[in-house]
Every structure is written in structure tokens, then in C-alpha cells.
């Protein structure tokens, strides 16, 4: 059950007039997988923030109003200190940690205090999944990890990246897991940006993945909206699904990007950007000094007009910006919010 001190600390941040609510921290560039839609594993850069620096970063994010932290990478669980970091973060934030399915089952004690553990898995087809992940045995390990974590009472979910490679399987995939009461939350394959100076990049262009059948994508959104009425295990809001459906059918965005307003990212070296596609704006340690500056205000306005990417998490954070957006998440996911609060 969530502690009262955590609830109180989050309420204090919610009533703050401004502040990004979501931060993703890419705590490492190291990865043990070779996914075909990702370039992170190609660098295996070993430099990263120390444990104390990550903790200080979390303190700063808390000060400016962040409520939710997502740890990803690379594979965050490759860090030996990840247990300590998760324990620290989960005292103050809704904390999610990603794993590609290879490490979580052997790190139960380290991840036990995370609010959510997301295992990335793209398809029920074992061979295809291993092909997409670039590693033999990836599918089996991910399925075993999901079972092991569930048995341990850890809040584990499965996170497929929707692409042309698995588009026609997504509904059956979702049904398979929600029948077993495993939550599903989605990513969307995207490689539709071109910035020269991004702080770091995580995707690579892969034509096999590019979603060409947009009508089916729209239909999937409609089906998921219907399925959500019966199952609380689908962790995506109607508002987000409607925005994606509208985009798929018309090519038009029904939202403005709220980068640096409702979300930001921090990379393995502590560089802060609006999103992983954009230039770094500051070191996390300098962020408090500039957070309310005209410079940040100008960037927010500029990013509101940006239409360069369709990463699902950034769409979600944008369509749910501000206090009304936050309330909409709570109403949409009320069953899960109640379960989370332990009531």
C-alpha cells in the first residue's frame, strides 16, 4: 500500500501551479539486447551519473513538481545500484522501471519497491520477438520474468511497441495478458524526427517497423477503448487513444506538445531535454536556476508548435497536461488508482 507520507508529498506537488509532472531518466546507455529499432546498444557508453548524483537529480525533480519517474535506458537493471535508486525514488514518486525481460526475475529485491515494472515484449510469437530483440531466448525470459514477478506480488506489466511488425497481433496480445490480469501499456514505433544536435537518440529508422496501415491503427484504438470498459488492465487513456486514432485517420494532431511544461527527460549524464529528440537545455543540477526563466518559457512556446515526433509517451503527457489533464487520468484509470492506493 502507498504510504501516507508519499501521498502527502505528492499532493503538495499537485497543488503547485507549475511544474512538469513526468520525468524519464535514462539512467544508463548500457544494454544487453540488440533491438532492431534502437541504437542505444551500439554505443554501450559506460559513463553515467553516480548513485548520489541520481539521488540529487531526483531531489531536484521533486522540488520542481515531478510526480512520476520512469527509469529506462539502456537497461536500468544493469546498474548495480538500481535497487538503491528505486528505493529512494519510490518514497516520493510514482516509480516505473523498464526491463527487457532479461534481468528483473533475478533482481526481485532491488525492484520490489517500484510501483510498476514494465517488461518490454512485442509479440506472442517467440521467434518473431527474438528477431525484434536481436537476442535468442528473449521471449522465453520475458514470459518467465512476468510470471516470477507476478508470483512475488510485484506490479508487473507488459509493454509492447506497436509497429507494422506486430500491428495485426496487438488486440490478441492484449487479450492474452489481460485474461491473466497482467496490465498492458503501449509504446508506438516512431522515427519521424531529424534533429542534428539531440542530446541522445534512441531510435533508428527501420522501414519494416514504419506503420503503413493507419486504418488498422485507428481501428485498434477504437477496439481498445471498448475493451477498457470491461478491463482495468489496459493502461492507456481514452483521450490518448482518441488522439492517436485521429492522427492515424487524418494526419492531424489534436494536441499541442507540452514538452518542458508537463514532461522532460534526463539522460545518463544528467543532461535535461524536453524530449530525447531535442537539444539539451541544461544540466539537471542547474535546472532550478533556470526553470522559471524567460528562456524556458520561450522554449515551451516553441515546442508547443513542434510536430516532429509521435512517441506515445510524449502524446500521453501532452494530452494530459495541466491539472485537468491529471484529473482526467485519475478518472479514466480510477479502478487502478484505487488499487494503487491500496483501498
Site residues for ligand SF4, 254-283, by CB under 6 A, read 257, 259, 274-275, 277-278
Q: Does 65 bind ligand SF4 (CB under 6 A)?
A: no
Gap between the Cα atoms of 284 and 273, Å rounded: 9
Gap between the Cα atoms of 127 and 338, Å rounded: 38
Gap between the Cα atoms of 90 and 5, Å rounded: 11
Shortest Cβ 154–ligand SF4 spacing (Å): 19
Q: Give the nearer residue to ligand SF4 in terms of CB position, either 178 or 280.
A: 280
Q: Does 306 bind ligand SF4 (CB under 6 A)?
A: yes
User: What single string gives the DSSP state of each residue in 85-107?
Assistant: HHHHHTTTSEEEEEE-SSSGGG-
Q: Give which of 180, 267, 162 is closest to 224, Cα–Cα.
A: 162
Shortest Cβ 123–ligand SF4 spacing (Å): 14
Shortest Cβ 78–ligand SF4 spacing (Å): 9
Choices 58-66, 167-175, 287-295, 304-312 (CB under 6 A): range interacting with ligand SF4: 304-312
Q: Does 100 bind ligand SF4 (CB under 6 A)?
A: yes
Strand pairing class (22-26; 68-72): parallel
Specify burial of residue 260 (Cβ count, 10 A radius: 0-12, 13-18, 19+).
buried
Q: Does 70 bind ligand SF4 (CB under 6 A)?
A: no
With residue 272 as reference, give the H or E element that holds it: strand 271-273
Q: Does 40 bind ligand SF4 (CB under 6 A)?
A: yes
Gap between the Cα atoms of 232 and 295, Å rounded: 41
Q: Give which of 332, 310, 318 is closest to 214, Cα–Cα.
A: 310
Q: Does 300 bind ligand SF4 (CB under 6 A)?
A: no
First to last CA, the chain: 8
Q: Does 38 bind ligand SF4 (CB under 6 A)?
A: yes
Q: Give which of 23, 22, 40, 21 is closest to 32, Cα–Cα.
A: 40
**Among 31, 114, 156, 329, contact with ligand SF4 (rule: CB under 6 A):** 31
Q: Does 321 bind ligand SF4 (CB under 6 A)?
A: no
Site residues for ligand SF4, 161-190, by CB under 6 A, read none
- Contact characters 192-231, ligand SF4, x per CB under 6 A: -x--------------------------------------
Q: Does 308 bind ligand SF4 (CB under 6 A)?
A: yes
Binding residues for ligand SF4 (CB under 6 A) = 31, 33-35, 38, 40-41, 73-75, 100, 193, 257, 259, 274-275, 277-278, 303, 306-309, 314
Amino acid at each position: 500500500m502507498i504510504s501516507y507520507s508519499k501521498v502527502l508529498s505528492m499532493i503538495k506537488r499537485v497543488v503547485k501551479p507549475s511544474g512538469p509532472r513526468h520525468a524519464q531518466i535514462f539512467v544508463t546507455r548500457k544494454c544487453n539486447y540488440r533491438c532492431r529499432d534502437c541504437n542505444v546498444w551500439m554505443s554501450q557508453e559506460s559513463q553515467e551519473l553516480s548513485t548520489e548524483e541520481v539521488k540529487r537529480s531526483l531531489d531536484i525533480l521533486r522540488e520542481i513538481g515531478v510526480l512520476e519517474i520512469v527509469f529506462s535506458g539502456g537497461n536500468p537493471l544493469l546498474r548495480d545500484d538500481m535497487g538503491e535508486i528505486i528505493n529512494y525514488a519510490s518514497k516520493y514518486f510514482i516509480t516505473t522501471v523498464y526491463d527487457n525481460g532479461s534481468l528483473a526475475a533475478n533482481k526481485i529485491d532491488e525492484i520490489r519497491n517500484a510501483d510498476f515494472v514494465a517488461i518490454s515484449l512485442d509479440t506472442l510469437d517467440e521467434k518473431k520477438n527474438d528477431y525484434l530483440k536481436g537476442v535468442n531466448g528473449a521471449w522465453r525470459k520475458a514470459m518467465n520474468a512476468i510470471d516470477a514477478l507476478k508470483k512475488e506480488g510485484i506490479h508487473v506489466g507488459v509493454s509492447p511497441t506497436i509497429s507494422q511488425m506486430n500491428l495485426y497481433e496487438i488486440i490478441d496480445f492484449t487479450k492474452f495478458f489481460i485474461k491473466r490480469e497482467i496490465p498492458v501499456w503501449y509504446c508506438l514505433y516512431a522515427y519521424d524526427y531529424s534533429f542534428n544536435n539531440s542530446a541522445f537518440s534512441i531510435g533508428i529508422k527501420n522501414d519494416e517497423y514504419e506503420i503503413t496501415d493507419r486504418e488498422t491503427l485507428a481501428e485498434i484504438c477504437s477496439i481498445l477503448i471498448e475493451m477498457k470498459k470491461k478491463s482495468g488492465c489496459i493502461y492507456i487513456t481514452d483521450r490518448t487513444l482518441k488522439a492517436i486514432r485521429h492522427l492515424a485517420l487524418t494526419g492531424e494532431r489534436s494536441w499541442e506538445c507540452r514538452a518542458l511544461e508537463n514532461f522532460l527527460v534526463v539522460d545518463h549524464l544528467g543532461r535535461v531535454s524536453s524530449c530525447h529528440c531535442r537539444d539539451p537545455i541544461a544540466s539537471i543540477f542547474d535546472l532550478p536556476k533556470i526553470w522559471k526563466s524567460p528562456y524556458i518559457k520561450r522554449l515551451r512556446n516553441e515546442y508547443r508548435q513542434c510536430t516532429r515526433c509521435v512517441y506515445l509517451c510524449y502524446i500521453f503527457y501532452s494530452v494530459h497536461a495541466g491539472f485537468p489533464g491529471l484529473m482526467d487520468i485519475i478518472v479514466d484509470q480510477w479502478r487502478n488508482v484505487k488499487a494503487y492506493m491500496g483501498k
